[in-house]
Amino acid sequence: MLKRILKIIFLLIIFMSTAGISTYLTIHLLIRSKDTVVVPDLQNKQIVYALELLTEMGLNTKVKGSEYSASVPKHYIIYQDPPSGSEIKKGRDVRLVLSKGARSVIIPNLVGMGAPQARILLEENGLVPGKISYISNGNYFRDEIMSHYPPSGKSVFRQSAIDLLISLGAAPMWIEMLDLIELNLNQAITKLESNNLALGNIRFAEDLTATMDTVTAHTPSAGYPVLPGSEIELTVNRRASSQAAKRRAKNQLFRYRLAAGFLNHSVRIQFKHKEYTLDLYHAFLKPNKEIWIAIPNQEPSTIFLYLDDELFSTKHFGALE
């Protein structure tokens, strides 16, 4: 009987010891499992994906460097340390080596692309703009790539320079300069405006061989090629005596009265000095309205009166140059 009791007590001791050891091991493993993780396989994975995954697992991401690789795309992972399957504690570093892509790259086709977009595409492929040339060509819009060297499809090393030929658009249409000699100032300005040319500086000089208040010279001269919108400088025949009298005046008065009628008119008065041009007056006026404006005595200056956006008259002020 005693032997049987001792045997039961011995078995209970063994059972309790085994249960205690098992409980201890289970608790130890549970606690340890909370502090450690298994490193995932990150090779050939995109760096953003790896960063998000490691952050969720409580690990730090460290980029050790980058290398060229013909098999691993740019910004993907070539190498990791520790390797996948390793068990490490949370908060530890996982070191990565990224791919810079292949050392060589195929040049994309840039022809017909806008210059800003072409530069972005070159940068995305690890290339840089080289020598840039411009030429007029009506078959391409302004700032479009007409050609490049090396051409598309050619394999080159990254950071290679690509020369670009960029279009300036259609070549400007030159026109032949008009002959304005012997025209009065109103006629000359009207003719310039009707031919898409602009009035430049006006110079007054006395010429006894020409008619008073007519154009005696202009720059460029008649027959020269000019671009639309170019400013044309005029020389107008004026007597020195009349200019000398005006030199003594500090200010002069410009007066104009609208004709009688029923409709309002747009009236614009423009003041042009040899160094600048400005609008002195611009308004819609009733018929028979009179305008009085004081004009500074500057050398030389001209008043242009526009009625309903059409040149109506001109008047000269200031002393002879």
State how far Cα 274 lies from the chain centre. 34
Cα 251 from Cα 66, distance rounded (Å): 77
Residue-level pLDDT at 243 = 47
Indicate whether 185 and 156 sit together in one domain. no
Residue-level pLDDT at 2 = 62
Indicate whether 267 and 202 sit together in one domain. yes
- Least confident interval from 125-129, 170-174, 184-188: 170-174
Indicate whether 249 and 267 sit together in one domain. yes
Coarse DSSP helix, strand, coil percentages of the chain, rounded to the nearest 5 percent = 20, 40, 35
Indicate whether 186 and 292 sit together in one domain. yes
Instruction: Look up the CATH number of the domain holding residue 65.
Output: 3.30.10.20
Indicate whether 157 and 83 sit together in one domain. no
Tell me the chain's radius of gyration from C-alpha atoms. 44
Indicate whether 127 and 242 sit together in one domain. no
Residue-level pLDDT at 20 = 61
26: its two tokens: 């289970």
Tell me which residue range forms the domain holding 274.
Answer: 175-317
Indicate whether 157 and 284 sit together in one domain. no
Q: Count of domains in the chain?
A: 3
Give the length of the chain: 321
The model's confidence at residue 318, banded by pLDDT at 50, 70 and 90, is low
Domain assignment of residue 15, yes or no:
no
Outline where 93-134 has alpha helix (H): 115-124
80: its two tokens: 């990791």
Domain assignment of residue 6, yes or no:
no
The model's confidence at residue 100, banded by pLDDT at 50, 70 and 90, is confident
Cβ 253 vs Cβ 293: under 8 Å: yes
Give the DSSP per-residue string, 4-54. HHHHHHHHHHHHHHHHHHHHHHHHHHHHHHHHEEEPP--TT-BHHHHHHHH
Cα 16 from Cα 18, distance rounded (Å): 5
Which amino acid, residue 257? R
The model's confidence at residue 186, banded by pLDDT at 50, 70 and 90, is confident
Q: Which of 213, 219, 214 is nearest to 232 (CA)?
A: 219
Mean pLDDT, rounded, for 90-94: 92
- List, for residues 230-269, the tens digit of each pLDDT value: 999 999 998 754 444 444 445 677 788 888 887 888 999 8
Backbone phi, psi, residue 201, to 5°: -70, 150
State how far Cα 219 lies from the chain centre. 35
Cα 94 from Cα 156, distance rounded (Å): 34
9: its two tokens: 């007590």
Domain assignment of residue 194, yes or no:
yes
Indicate whether 53 and 163 sit together in one domain. no
What is the chain's mean pLDDT, rounded? 84
Q: What percent of the chain has pLDDT over 90?
A: 41
Last residue of a domain, one of 63, 79, 102: 102
Residue-level pLDDT at 1 = 61
Q: What percent of the chain has pLDDT over 70?
A: 83
- List, for residues 44-89, the tens digit of each pLDDT value: 999 999 999 999 999 999 999 898 888 898 889 999 999 999 999 9
